[in-house]
Amino acid sequence: MLELKNLACGYDSKPVLQDIEFKVEDKEFVGIIGPNGSGKTTLLRAITRVLKPSKGAVFLNGKNIWQMRFKDLARYVAVVPQNFGGVDMSVEDFVLLGRIPYLERLQFFESKMDLFIAERCLSLTDTLKLKGKLMSEISGGESQLVLIARALAQEPKLLLLDEPTAHLDITHQVSILDLIKRLNKELGLTVVMVLHDLNLASEYCQRLVLINEGRIYKTGTPQEVLSYKIIEEVYKTVVVVEKNPVSSKPYVVLVSQEEKEKRGK
């Protein structure tokens, strides 16, 4: 579904990503991880044509995204950004923005089908009860769910998410990632998600792409990527990696400076 070939891009004359190559298969759930400043968000911007590569290309089903009409790209790929400032727009109207790629020329109002799809997406994200509220009135966790509803209203095949659990408590983190996993399984959505939390990435993603200093450091299953040696090399901190007693996925335990000093490391 998605393929990046020899991709390089950055801002102005400053390169951020170099030699990025990987594929995402149909219905796969892939996590992008790496330290701050490694290029994770830049990678999403390249996939969505916000940034033009200085070298290489991004392909969707074999077609270079820069050769696609923007409307066609928006029908294929939807993005859930990291954060969103509240606006004085109703939740329902905000979700209906996801139907813009389907508006015909000189069509100024949503159709009954658009309204039906928006309501269905609100139901899928358990935010139907919020549809009459203003975006500026709802909580951060609710806003994140509405952002997902708006993305789903685009009826995409590929869903990109940039830190969907940032600044949320553990209850909202789990509910949002459970929802994304359900959409991946039940609707067949292909998911590429940037995450900082290595344990959440381990628990929910089928495959991980670890980026460090603008290059791919390692790709593979959570078991292949989240070893203590790799994490210590990339993140420059001491960790212990155990097996989650429930899921058997890797679980990263941080080691404080005090504990390191106690153990002479």
C-alpha closest to that of 1 among 199, 184, 248, 128: 184
Can you list the domains of the chain with their CATH numbers? Answer: 2-222 (3.40.50.300)
Q: Look at the chain and count its residues.
A: 265
Average pLDDT over residues 116-143: 91
Query: Largest Cα–Cα distance of the chain, in whole Å?
Result: 71
Could you give the dihedral angle defined by the CA atoms of residues 121, 127, 133 and 135, in that order, rounded to the nearest 10 degrees? -80
CA distance 110 to 124: 20
- Does pLDDT of 104 surpass 80? no
Rounded distance, CA 264 to CA 75, Å? 56
Calculate the alpha carbon distances from 6 to 49, 215, 225 in Å.
16, 11, 21
**Quick check: 20 and 216 in contact, CB under 8 A?**
yes
- Alpha-carbon torsion 205, 208, 209, 212, what sign? positive
The letter for the amino acid at 211 is I
Instruction: Say yes or no to pLDDT of 106 above 60.
Output: no
pLDDT in tens, 167-223: 888 988 999 999 999 999 988 999 999 999 999 999 999 999 999 999 999 999 999
| Lookup: tokens for 68 | 């696609």
Distance CA 106, CA 22 (A): 40
* Average pLDDT along the chain: 90
pLDDT score of 83: 67
